[in-house]
Copies of this chain bind each other. A is one copy, B any other.
Amino acid sequence: MTSKLTALFPNLAANSTLIKHILEKGINQSFPAATPIYWEGDACSHIAFLLSGEIRVYKSGQTGREITLYEIGPGDTCILNASCILSSSNYPANAVTRSQVDALLLPAREFQKLMAEYAEIRNFVFSLLSMRFSEVMALLEEVAFNRMDERLNEYLVEKSENNLLEATHQAIANDLGTSREVVSRLLKEMERQGKVQLARNSIRLLDQSNLTVSGD
């Protein structure tokens, strides 16, 4: 178990004492797919170091629509945990596991101790928090200024592997902050233009030249 942690968190592993502390105080826990991890407004008691699986962090509006803020994977910390603990505030968003997730949970108090003591974990948390912050600002710009078809295009390019994306229209809508019908409509239009090929639960990108996003 030590090996997994050190492999995934090289910046922390640089200090073996720190790793030892984390392992001593941390609790290993698994969550099945689609488990709610926390809700907006909750207080924060632990910080999670992800060993495997993915978590989706999102906001939801009154009408039931959702928008994904960012995702975290192995080697990430759920930075909102850290953020809440360090500013003693509550969660500003929701989080749900996308797949099965294995994580090492560290109690808030222990985390604060380690933050006070070890530069490695401070730097790790700071830079992760900064990165997420930048990402969310970029997302805000997207949402504020770009049309849904452009955003969907970029989404497909980013999310697809080997030009294939396996996801329902509803799931895509929840990531983009729109409704299922809108996604279906736009995808169908892209299919008519020969850009994608649609099937149940799958989208295949065809005409890459039209989809390529400059600057990514």
Contacts and interface: CB of A to CB of B under 8 A. Distances in A.
A130 B89 contact: yes
A92 interface: yes
Interface residues of A, number: 39
Nearest to A125: B126
Given A129-B133, A132-B133, A141 B83 contact: no
B143 A140 contact: yes
A23 B119 CA distance: 24
A150 B133 CA distance: 25
Given A145-B63, A177-B145, A140 B129 contact: no
Given A61-B146, A92-B134, 12 more contacts: A59-B144, A61-B144, A61-B145, A67-B140, A67-B145, A83-B130, A83-B133, A84-B130, A86-B127, A87-B127, A89-B131, A140-B143
